[in-house]
Amino acid sequence: MIIGYERGIMLIEDGNKLLLDPSHQSEIGIVTHGHLDHLVKDAYMTPHTLDILGVRLGERRGKPVPYGKRVNVGGFEEVKLLPAGHVFGSAMVSVNGVLYTGDFNTFGGKTCGKAEPQKCETLILETTYGKREYRLPPKDTVEEDIRMWTEMQVEEGPVVFGAYEFGKAQEIIAILNSIRQTPFVPEKIANICDIYTSHGVDIDYRTGDPEGNFTAVVTPAELKKPASGLARKAREEKGNLAYLSGWCAFYPFFRSMDIDAQFPLSDHAGFDELMDFVDKCNPEQVFTVHGSAEEFCESVETELGIDARPLKK
């Protein structure tokens, strides 16, 4: 099999061609998840991702493939999508001995499954946190910190979290629900939450004008100075604002986001999880994409003795 990059991760075998996360509309493409840098129409994707595409791109156009079902894409007969644990509907792609993780997380989430290692010959791995120093705390510890902080602060005033509108926002809603909070959200986030609930994911949220000591989840843009919407209301009432991102483990966002707290809630695997995942998949070769692709290959070669190289765009 030939593996390269040509407006997407390209697999070629026996005259057949397949594109993973293509950068353009493609009949032979597979979209791994519904973040905007991955969404294109007409490709294969999980039914969850297809519904997300409908809301985010305004037209539900693509081919739904449930997790675990074998399908033929572009002449490749054994294509299978597996949970990636990154966001609702996110998928890894397994095809003819190749496993492509897409964006993935072995901790998984409250609103999606989790990525499980699969034995494969070739592993194509997303390496957002591929540098040795990018070690993330365990997800349940982060969630516990968020719960404790929220319960304390909401006694004093409104508590607002800034989180990316698809994936992170729904995770924090689920965490808040676990301490009997039903957060207010803007329409933009509610529209995406509605897809979760239509697929049976149990999250409680509401829209409208809050009073008293409320909790809310807004987009990072609303959080930033000058705060808008629910974040502004919380600010005016001397509430507490927090930002959620995996990068909070490594960088301070207090000034740039104008926040009172930050929590490293990540939807990607950290360095330790990446290494462990490669070890368990035990491939003959590794290709890396995104983030610290070069640095991670060095770690794989020296520590695991597996041939690894970044996939060149």
Q: What type of residue sits at position 147?
A: R
Q: What is the DSSP letter of 109?
A: B
User: Quick one: DSSP state of residue 135?
Assistant: P
Candidates 103, 143, 171, 222; binder of Zn ion (CB under 5 A) is 103
Binding mask 26-45 for Zn ion (x = CB under 5 A): ---------x----------
**Number of residues near Zn ion (by CB under 5 A):** 2
Residue 162 or 246: the one with the smaller Cβ distance to Zn ion is: 246
At its nearest, how many Å lie between Zn ion and the CB of residue 52? 11
Nearer to Zn ion, 246 or 310 (CB): 246
Q: Shortest Cβ distance from residue 296 to Zn ion (Å)?
A: 17
- Cα atoms found within 13 Å of the Cα of residue 175, Cβ hemisphere only: 28
Q: In degrees rounded to 5, what are phi and psi of residue 16?
A: -100, 150
Nearer to Zn ion, 130 or 229 (CB): 130
Cα distances from 148 to residues 142, 151, 283, 284, in angstroms, run 10, 5, 41, 44
Close Cβ partners of 301 (under 8 Å, ≥ 6 residues apart):
307, 308
Contacting Zn ion within 54-93 (CB under 5 A): none
Find the shortest distance in angstroms from Cβ 13 to Zn ion.
Answer: 27
In the complex with Zn ion, which residue's Cβ is closer, 210 or 246?
246
- Per-residue x/- mask for Zn ion, residues 177 to 216, rule CB under 5 A? ----------------------------------------
Residue with tokens 């407006």: 7
Nearest approach in angstroms of CB 85 to Zn ion is 11
Structure-token pair, residue 285: 């070769």
Contact predicate 105/268, CB 8 Å:
yes
Q: Which 8-state DSSP code applies to residue 246? A: G
- Taking the least distance from each CB to Zn ion, the nearer of 184 and 296 is 296
Closer CB to Zn ion, 139 or 235, in the complex: 139
The C-alpha atoms of residue 42 and residue 243 are separated, in whole angstroms, by: 34
Smallest gap from Cβ 49 to Zn ion, in A, equals: 11
Among the residue ranges 43-51, 100-108, 239-247, 304-312, the one whose residues contact Zn ion (CB under 5 A): 100-108
Pick the piece of the chain touching Zn ion (CB under 5 A) from 17-25, 102-110, 121-129, 278-286.
Answer: 102-110
- Beta-carbon contacts of residue 89 (< 8 Å; ≥ 6 apart): 33, 34, 45, 46, 47, 48, 49, 51, 52, 112
- The SS3 of residue 62 is coil
The smaller minimum CB distance to Zn ion, of residues 35 and 224, is found at: 35
If you search the block for the tokens 């765009």, which residue do you land on?
Answer: 313
Report if residue 290 touches Zn ion, rule: CB under 5 A: no
Helix H or strand E encompassing 221: helix 220-223
- Residues 73, 195, 168, 135: what is their CA dihedral angle, to the nearest 10 degrees? -30
Q: How far is the CB of 136 from Zn ion (least distance, A)?
A: 15
The binding site for Zn ion (CB under 5 A) comprises 35, 103
